[in-house]
Structure 1
Amino acid sequence: MQRGPTDLGPAGGITVNKVVLGVSSAVILAFSLWAILSPSGAQSTLSGVVTWISTNVGWFYVLTVTVVIGFVLWVALSKQGTVRLGPDHSRPQYSLFTWVAMLFAAGVGIDMLFFSVTGPVTQYYAPPTLDAESGEAARDAVVWTIFHYGVAGWSMYSLLGMAMGYFAYRWGMPLSIRAVLYPLFGKRVRGATGHVIDIVTLVGTVFGVATSMGIGVVLLNIGLEHLLGLPAGLAVQIALVAVAVVMTIAACTSGVDKGIRLISELNIWIAAAMLLYIIVTGRTAFLLSAIVENIGRFVTTLPGRTMETMAYESGGSEWMAGWTLFFWAFWLAWGPFVGLFLARISRGRTLREFVLAAITAPVLCDLLIVSVFGNSAMSEVLGGNDAFGKLAMKSPEEGWYALLEMFPGASFLIGLATLSGLLFYLTSANSGAMVMSNFSSTIRDPGEDGPKWLRIYWAVLTAVLTVAMLIAGGVTTMEYATLIFALPVTVIAYLVMFSFTKVLRMEAAEREGWARLRAAGLRRGGAGRSWRQRMASIRAYPGRDQVAQFSDSVVGPALEAVAEEFRASGTAAAVERAEEPLTGVDEYVLTVPMGEERDFLYKVASVQAPVPQIGSKASRGETRYWRLEVFSQTGSAGYDLMGMTDQQIIEDVLDSYEAHLAFLHLSTEHDGLSSIAPVGLETGQESIAGEPAPPRIG
């Protein structure tokens, strides 16, 4: 794993992956030209392919989403749920409230507004399994849309987000899907294998974003017709696509990315204001009662709906293709896009809090939006407004605005809704271009993004694809294309789960190695300290100069003594001294190569910590003190070496080395051949990597 950053390259900076860029562009351009030059032929062909997929492969989509949900829950609830997206000592960058708000902003698109009305109405008039326009169909109508916008999509986002974040922040690899699959393919992810992975991911992402943009321009077109009198039609829709391109170019050239984030947060407040307005001015009692019932029905029926394939229903495959399979494909296509953003904002979070927050907080927000709009529409239909219901089914965008016109102050509400939809639309277009730029580049630093010119290029190409699908049949064609091009992404989802399982076994083996040593009576943090040493260390709050002197006079010589004894016993070992510019205190790193296995690393570095605000130190105004902490490849061990003797430090090094050997033994006992854990030893070898037992120093 420690060789991953080197194998994945580049040594520094950002380079454009010409193979991924060229092949992905060719696929998208070829599809766009086909759709523009032969719109009826494209729609007919796509319809035939979708029919075949829904009839023969629909079960695979359903099974994949079910497995993904089970996998992310297993990760969150297992012992490895405490592993962090970053070193062990890392902590979250954002507060819980800000982080959850950003999760919601990342995964919600304008398509939710589109389907929040037409979804429930359609499931009432044409339910998949129940009698049309029955009481049972009414109770189930909104729940189907909540289900389609619920746990499934956020589980896919969680899978790819936590996997990319783990490899980027814990092991220093690029923030990409190919880095996630490094444990499976090793160096091959840098070549043709990695290119194929990135091409599949990128093409699926482009189609997912283009579909959302296409739905957005259709919806916004109707809103602008109500507000400004602009005619509804292809010309205005193409103009709106052009606006998204111009906004992306402006964001790239004027440095307004922070402004885009502020717009995303503003959009959350606008959406909340719309919901509150509708609840207060609409049928308040009915809406609140329906929300409660929707939540209960969603929770109790979730397992059955998740595995539903409509195998025994006449026309079940057609319904699945138009609804569940489309949404599952949509989330698969958006998974890398949203997953990358979630990874970017989640450094320092544990896997458990990452998954549980992602599949609860945003899902509750989605549930509220769908339930308020959906039940408002159902209230009209159940009250006898059949004309509205038919309109919402036939023309979802007109049905959504027709619903808003029924509330007091309709012009204000429509204006607010159109502004919200516009912000959803623009932020998705801009963020999508950024992610596409990253996927078509090789970036060593996970905090950096692809070239700005490449973002503009992808914004233009996505716009071309959006226009092509609008010409070829509008929303229906977009749904078909998304379902088809998301199919290869399902294979990547399985590879990601397989790869992530391997590294979690490695994490478990490392922890088990230390557990076995602790059970044998060994202790980390300086076994053998006298009680006077312990009391002195508890009461001491040293400054930087004291720590620097102790590091040079005690820690450095102790590590050199260990390295010298290793070398005398025939094992390569080295101690490096490196300047730490942030603290001004030199770091010492002891490294023992372990052949094909993970090298042993024992690093001692200075860190600042707050002085407990009690006692004499607080009264003198001292707020920070310095520690010398031990670091492994996965972060700080959490204890301080200050005040220990050289002999005690040496014993701690040997404790750590024995724990590392135990980890390597466990990783080969429980894992098969892979890039991070080879099969093991041949007869006659002395230890896990041919290394001798720890040297005796004293």
Structure 2
Amino acid sequence: MKKASKVFYITFALVILTVAFGVIAPQAFEKITGNIRSFIDTGFGWYYLMLMALILVFTFIIIISPYGKIRLGKDSDRPEFSTISWISMLFSAGMGIGLVFYGASEPLSHFAVQPATAEPGTDAAFKESLQRTYYHWGIHVWAMYGIVALALAFFQFRKGEPALISSTLKPIFGKKMEGPLGTLVDVLAVFATVFGVATSLGFGAAQINGGLAYLFGVPQSSTVQFLIIAVVTVLFISSAWSGLNKGIKYLSNTNMVLAVILLILVLVLGPTLLILNMFTETFGNYAQNLISLSFQSAPLDAENRQWLNDWTIFYWAWWISWAPFVSMFIARVSKGRTIREFLIGVVLTPTIFGALWFAAFGTTAIDLQKNGTDLAGFPPEQTLFAMFNEMPLGFAMSIVAILLVSTFFITSADSATFVLGMQSTKGSLHPSNQIKILWGIAQSAVAAILLAVGGLAAVQNTIIAAALPFSLVMILMIVSLFKALNTEMKTNRTRK
């Protein structure tokens, strides 16, 4: 195939083998991936917590350091996209579907079903539910995306290296990154990306199906979800075909408009004063307790430890599995920005917007639960629609939510297809449509097949397994980045 690298053929084969195993022996597949997940949760939970915390520290060091003045590109380069379009694209690629899927259901679960430390249904659980949700979706996640994206953008635009994960490790390993070792690194990145995105596509299909079932009585089944994935696949491949400056850019802007409309409606039609007060206090608590949250591993509390495995450790692994795709996409659209501008935009803007989102949706859902509406009795994919059913303009908001999940679905898959194409064509900034189409079909097929044979649990277990080796690559990327930035600063001082 024209321009396809070894990474394409090796990873494509690994994906096919993994999915074939899941189809032929679904119970064995789920058992093996479940055992791997249990091993990682038990033996490496502390490692994930330390890694995410240290990445956050490194990110702030770079923001306040002289490195922040360095431009991602030539000194004369300026941003390709407006700030609003840039933020919309990184936000849509980063966690769009998840915000809608978990917006009401995660805080509600932490409040009514399984709080971390508080008693279910109490005011303490109410506050803790929002604080924990901010933690899972907030500054740690975006710092991780930001630092990986920074390494990619710096080497890609400042140093003229190919847009590959392996290229960022050349300051450490040199020419070895152009051989089998570099291929291994890029294969890990692509494999993690495929299964990380497949999880989100599975969530998206399940929630669209859940909304249609709640509103119109459409059956909830793998057949319906397969049809949803098939329709959306056609749409996002069409978008990918049109290129970065058209399809992804316009869809990302549409996502943000729909998300802001939905957020405003919930703020206005929900318990507005309670939402604003809860956001103010719980976001303050989150900021105040950031250090203790970051390192909490519950070594002597088996119940809380299980909660951390089910929620926090899963999230950290999921975000790490997304890092190659999201970070590479963020890097691709960030040429011309200074490092300081880049990191502040990537880390703070989505964190604040996400916290406001969860405060609005979570507070509304919990308030309804406290007042007698059993939203916790609904499956997660229907919680949002059941909440809207209790509010004015509920049907209209449900339709907007389905549209929003659909457009987020398209943009996430579209962006991932673009990045997978880059990674498997030796870092080409304009991968061929043939490669993008093949990856688009592949990631949708992974989501559809694994949903049909084993549900999301099997996919979630797989990404936790895939994230562990890539986390080691992330550590090397950070070391390599600091080494390259030091060299850059010395070179600049010599020129002056």
Q: TM-score range by the shorter chain?
A: over 0.9
- Name the residue aligned to 1:397: 381
Alpha-carbon offset, residue 273 of structure 1: 0.9
Structure 2 residue aligned with 1:441: 425
CA-to-partner distance for each residue in 1:501-548, whole Å, 9 max, x for gaps? Answer: 11111123224435xxxxxxxxx6xxxxxxxxxxxxxxxxxxxxxxxx
Letter in 2 for 1:25: F
2: CA distance between counterparts of 1:208 and 1:298? Answer: 27
Structure 2 residue identity aligned to 1:428: S
Q: By how many angstroms is 1:52 displaced?
A: 1.4
Q: Is the 8 A contact 2:4 2:426 kept in 1?
A: yes
Residues 155-554 of structure 1: matches in 2 within 5 Å?
155-253=143-241, 258-385=246-373, 387-391=374-378, 395-443=379-427, 448-513=429-494
Structure with the higher strand share, 1 or 2: 1
Q: CA deviation at 1:108?
A: 2.8
User: Residue 232 of structure 2 contacts residue 406 of structure 2 at CA under 8 Å; is this kept in 1?
Assistant: no
Query: How far is 1:321 from its partner?
Result: 2.2
User: Partner amino acid for 2:38?
Assistant: T
Q: Secondary structure at the match of 1:352?
A: helix
Aligned match for 1:79, one of 61, 66, 85: 66
Distance change in 2, residues 1:505/1:28 (3 Å) = same
* Count of aligned pairs between the two proteins: 494
Counterpart code for 1:171: K
What secondary structure is seen at the aligned counterpart in 2 of 1:506? helix
Residue aligning to 1:126: 114
- List per-residue Cα deviations over 1:614-672 (Å, max 9, x = no partner): xxxxxxxxxxxxxxxxxxxxxxxxxxxxxxxxxxxxxxxxxxxxxxxxxxxxxxxxxxx
Letter in 1 for 2:462: A
Residue 40 of structure 1: which of 27, 40, 51 is its match? 27
* Aligned counterpart, 1:51: 38
1:138 is aligned to 126
The Cα shift of 1:315 comes to: 2.9
Indicate the SS of the match to 1:450. Answer: coil
* Amino acid of the structure 1 residue aligned with 2:61: W
Query: What SS is found at the alignment partner of 2:334?
Result: coil
- Cα distance in 2 between the residues matched to 1:84 and 1:353: 9
Using the alignment, how far apart are the partners of 2:409 and 2:421 within structure 1?
19
Aligned-partner SS, 2:103: helix
C-alpha distance in 2, partners of 1:95/1:248?
23
Larger relative helix fraction:
2
Residues in 2 aligned to 1:256 and 1:99: alpha-carbon distance in whole angstroms: 12
Q: Tell me if the contact between 1:245 and 1:456 (Cα under 8 Å) persists in the aligned partners.
A: no
Secondary structure in structure 2 of the residue aligned to 1:323: helix
Distance 1:388 1:249, change over 3 A: closer
How far did residue 251 of structure 1 move? 3.1
Structure 2: unaligned runs, 5 residues or longer: none
- How far 1:310 moved relative to its partner? 2.0
CA contact (8 A) 2:240 2:247 kept: no
Greater Cα offset, 130-139 or 196-205:
130-139
Mark the CA change 1:440 to 1:280 in structure 2 (over 3 Å): closer, same or farther: same
2:15 matched to 1:28?
Answer: yes
Aligned to 1:554: none
User: In structure 2, how many angstroms separate the alpha carbons of the residues matched to 1:195 and 1:25?
Assistant: 13
Do the aligned partners of 1:244 and 1:430 also contact (CA within 8 Å) in 2? no
Is the contact between residue 55 and residue 147 of structure 2 (CA under 8 Å) also seen in structure 1?
Answer: yes
Is the 1:15–1:443 contact (alpha carbons within 8 Å) kept by the matching residues of 2?
A: no
- Mapped partners of 2:385, 2:341: distance in 1: 38
| % same residue | 29
Q: Spell out, residue by residue over 1:377-432, the C-alpha distance to the aligned partner (whole angstroms, 9 max, x if none).
A: 111122233x32232xxx10122211111111221111111001110011111111
Shift of 1:39: 1.9
Deviation of 1:230 (Å): 2.2
CA 1:297 to 1:470, structure 2 compared with 1: closer, same or farther past 3 Å?
same
SS of structure 2 residue aligned to 1:442: coil
Q: In 2, distance between residues paired with 1:255 and 1:115?
A: 30
Residue aligned with 1:15, SS: coil
Partner Cα separation in structure 2 for residue 118 and residue 251 of structure 1: 30
Q: Which has the larger radius of gyration?
A: 1
How far has the Cα of 1:255 moved from its partner? 5.9
* Contact persistence 2:56–2:144 (CA under 8 A): yes
| Paired letter, 2:398 | I
Counterpart code for 2:323: G
Relative contact order: is structure 1 or structure 2 higher (C-alpha 8 Å, sep ≥ 6)?
2
Inter-partner Cα distance in structure 1 for 2:116 and 2:91: 30
CA distance in 2, matches of 1:468, 1:401: 26
Whole-Å separation in 2 of the counterparts to 1:384 and 1:491:
47
Root-mean-square deviation (CA, aligned residues, Å) is 1.8
Change (3 A) 1:314 1:60: same
Deviations 1:353-395 (A, max 9, x none): 111121111111111111111111111122233x32232xxx1
d(CA) in 2 for partners of 1:85, 1:230: 49
Cα pair distance change 1:512/1:291, threshold 3 Å: same
Contact 1:437 1:455 survives alignment (8 Å): yes
Name the CA distance, whole Å, in 1 between partners of 2:453 and 2:115: 28
How far did 1:121 drift?
A: 1.6
Output the CA distance in 1 between the equivalents of 2:307 and 2:453: 22
Change (3 A) 1:114 1:139: same
Report if the CA contact (8 A) 2:11-2:187 is conserved: yes
1:251–1:257 CA contact under 8 A, matched in 2 = no
- C-alpha distance in 2 between matches for 1:433 and 1:189: 24
Contact 2:197 2:412 survives alignment (8 Å): yes
Report deviation, 1:99. Answer: 2.9
For residue 31 of structure 1, report the CA deviation from its aligned partner. Answer: 1.4
Letter in 1 for 2:371: G
3-state SS in 2 of match to 1:16? coil
Q: Deviations over 1:241-289 (max 9, x none)?
A: 1123212332355669603321211111111111111111121111111
Please report how far the alpha carbon of residue 478 of structure 1 lies from its aligned counterpart in structure 2 after TM superposition.
2.5
| CA-to-aligned-CA distance 1:480-501 (integer Å, 9 cap, x gap) | 2221111111001101011111
Q: Aligned AA for 1:426?
A: I
Judge conservation of contact 1:142–1:374 (CA < 8 Å) in 2: yes
Q: Which one-letter code corresponds to 2:396 in the other structure?
A: F
CA contact (8 A) 1:33 1:468 kept: no
